[in-house]
């Protein structure tokens, strides 16, 4: 099974926080990470014709299907983590339009609320294998 690739905003403090958390929670080593402006993102866009211009925070791709964004991306990551994280799937009963509104609200304000790094930070040596 190919790993799930999470494309994220490498300059976003909030995104980097969650990437680090996901690395520690990914006990089955199913997740890989790269920034949205990486060569791997260009490969994904070329292979899938994904319109990345509409999404600037997180995109998830299983390397087989269409990449996912917004709340669909979050649920795909929860699915990959498995275990007790799967219980958060209960929120999928909420309307997608509402879940995406919450997601977009946080994404739109993430720099103002959490800040922006001047460069994409390098991962610690213990998790460097998770980054493309």
Tens of pLDDT, residue by residue over 8-32, are 998 899 999 999 999 999 989 999 9
- The structural domain count of the chain equals 1
Confidence band, pLDDT 50/70/90 cuts, at residue 52: confident
Report how far residue 24's alpha carbon sits from residue 69's, in angstroms, rounded to the nearest whole number: 22
List of residues 6+ apart from 97 with CB closer than 8 A? none
Residue with the larger pLDDT of the pair 1 and 61: 61
In this prediction, residue 84 carries a pLDDT of: 85
SS3 35: strand
In this prediction, residue 89 carries a pLDDT of: 85
- How many other CB atoms are there within 10 angstroms of residue 46's CB atom? 9
DSSP H/E element including 40: helix 39-48
Domain that holds residue 30: 4-130
Angle subtended at Cα 42 by Cα 128 and Cα 99, rounded to the nearest 5 degrees: 80
Tens of pLDDT, residue by residue over 70-118, are 999 999 999 999 888 888 888 999 999 999 999 999 999 999 999 998 8
Cα of first residue to Cα of last residue in the chain, in angstroms, is: 17
Report how far residue 41's alpha carbon sits from residue 46's, in angstroms, rounded to the nearest whole number: 9
Beta bridge mates, 59? 7, 69
Arithmetic mean of pLDDT, 40-47: 90
In this prediction, residue 125 carries a pLDDT of: 82
Confidence band, pLDDT 50/70/90 cuts, at residue 124: confident
Locate the DSSP E strands across 19-121: 31-35, 58-61, 68-69
Query: Is the confidence at residue 4, as pLDDT, over 90?
Result: yes
Strands 4-8 and 31-35 come out as parallel
């Amino acid at each position: 099974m190919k790993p799930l690739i999470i494309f994220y905003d490498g300059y976003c403090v909030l995104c980097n926080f969650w990437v680090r958390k996901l690395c520690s929670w990914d006990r089955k080593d199913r997740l890989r990470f790269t920034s949205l402006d990486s060569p791997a993102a260009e490969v994904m866009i070329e292979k899938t014709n994904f319109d990345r211009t509409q999404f600037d925070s997180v995109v998830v791709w299983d390397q087989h299907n269409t990449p996912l964004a917004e709340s669909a991306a979050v649920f795909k990551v929860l699915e990959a983590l498995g275990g007790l994280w799967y219980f958060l799937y209960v929120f999928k009963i909420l309307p997608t339009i509402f879940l995406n509104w919450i997601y977009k609200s946080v994404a739109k304000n993430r720099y103002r609320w959490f800040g922006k790094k001047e460069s994409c930070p390098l991962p610690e040596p213990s998790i460097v294998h998770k980054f493309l």
